[in-house]
Amino acid sequence: MTTRRGFLASLLAASTLPSLSWADAGSPAFLAAAKLADGTFALHGLTAMGETVFTIPLPARGHAATAHPNRPEAVAFARRPGIYAIILDCVTGAVLTRLAPPDGTQFNGHGSFSKDGQILYTSEVIATTSEGRVGLWDAADGYRRITSWPSGGIGPHDLKRLPGSDILVVANGGIQTDPQDRTKLNIDTMRPNLTYLDGAGSITDLIELTADYRQNSIRHLAIAADKTVAFALQWEGDPAEPAPLLGLHKLGQQPRLCAVPEAEMFVMQGYAGSIAFDPTGQEVAITSSHGGAVQIYHRDGAFLTGILRADASGIAPAPNGFLLTDGFGTISSIIDHALVPMTQGNALWDNHLVALA
């Protein structure tokens, strides 16, 4: 029979056990979803050089992921309209829990943690209307569902937290879609926006583009250390009259769309997927898998260069520049605006490359 003294001793010992960290998972620098050679799907942990340190199976095609700020746990999100989000132990590869969207809603591919790691926020829509929601899950209690907040718009996709705060930025794409086949239903009337939510879910700012660009769907986000928000756009208007695909915004200011030479606009085929600032915050890059290209801009919005790379997909900050994945299995570095292939494998990389800060 356990004595009171023995029980207290075991409790004290348990409380002093070191908690696992990302170092125990091989110190990955990035997370990325991919399709494998056998047709299955997996989440990869990658080093700064693009080498795989772990591979964890996924039940279906993945999209983005987010990492817990302290524990070696990752949340892998299904491609929208999503029916799963999986919490993974990146040390053991175990599935800790599987999240399902509440009845009548769907996950929309992205999520983010609160500053202290206690809350997971998920991008969601009401299936029948595409009305946006932000789901809240208690990461300290087995990812128990807490509640949800209005996202401030239709069709939210990416969401991120401003550095050093619990202010969320939501990319409301503005597109209502059929819940089954993703058919776009409201292109003529769509109104994308950036919505800022405080720690209680109240809207503190809501930014819309001008009428000329209301068909420019705001999809993905990158945030610099000074809280500049860069947003990647997907043009749903006339393809013969392309639009800028990168915007910049700071709280209290007006949004700016970044001008680009017309020929470079056509290269992107109206589609910007992933987006990232470089480590210095002085440059921002967007990718286009449709156009097979990467564009790099100065943080003031000036266009710097375009780089061709077939099926360019995920991009993230890396030492001296960026790391780029593509749908053919290559991981490349971009240093001084030059593309250098680094690794080639059988993992066909999906849309995003997530840096672990």
User: How many angstroms separate the CA atoms of 65 and 43, rounded?
Assistant: 8
Is 280 among the domain residues?
Answer: no
Domain range for 197 = 20-271
Structurally, the chain folds into a number of domains equal to 1
User: How many angstroms separate the CA atoms of 42 and 256, rounded?
Assistant: 37
Read off the tokens for 180: 């089954």
Please give the single-letter amino acid code of residue 122.
T
Is 352 among the domain residues?
Answer: no
Is 168 among the domain residues?
Answer: yes
Is 285 among the domain residues?
Answer: no
pTM above 0.85, yes or no: yes
Q: What is the pLDDT of residue 93?
A: 87
User: How many angstroms separate the CA atoms of 81 and 173, rounded?
Assistant: 14
Q: What is the pLDDT along the chain (357 residues), one digit of tens a residue?
A: 334 344 334 333 334 445 788 898 888 999 999 999 999 999 999 999 999 998 989 888 889 999 999 999 999 998 877 788 999 998 998 999 999 999 999 999 999 999 999 999 999 999 999 999 999 999 999 999 999 999 999 999 999 999 999 999 999 999 998 887 778 989 999 999 999 999 999 999 999 999 999 999 999 999 999 999 999 999 999 999 999 999 999 999 999 999 999 999 999 999 999 999 999 999 999 999 999 999 999 999 999 999 999 999 999 999 889 999 999 999 999 999 999 999 999 899 998 999 987
- Strand partners for 116: none
Is 130 among the domain residues?
Answer: yes
Residue in 246, 239, 236 with CA at minimum distance from that of residue 173: 236
Burial class (CB in 10 A: 0-12, 13-18, 19+), 188: exposed
Give the CATH number, domain containing residue 143: 2.130.10.10
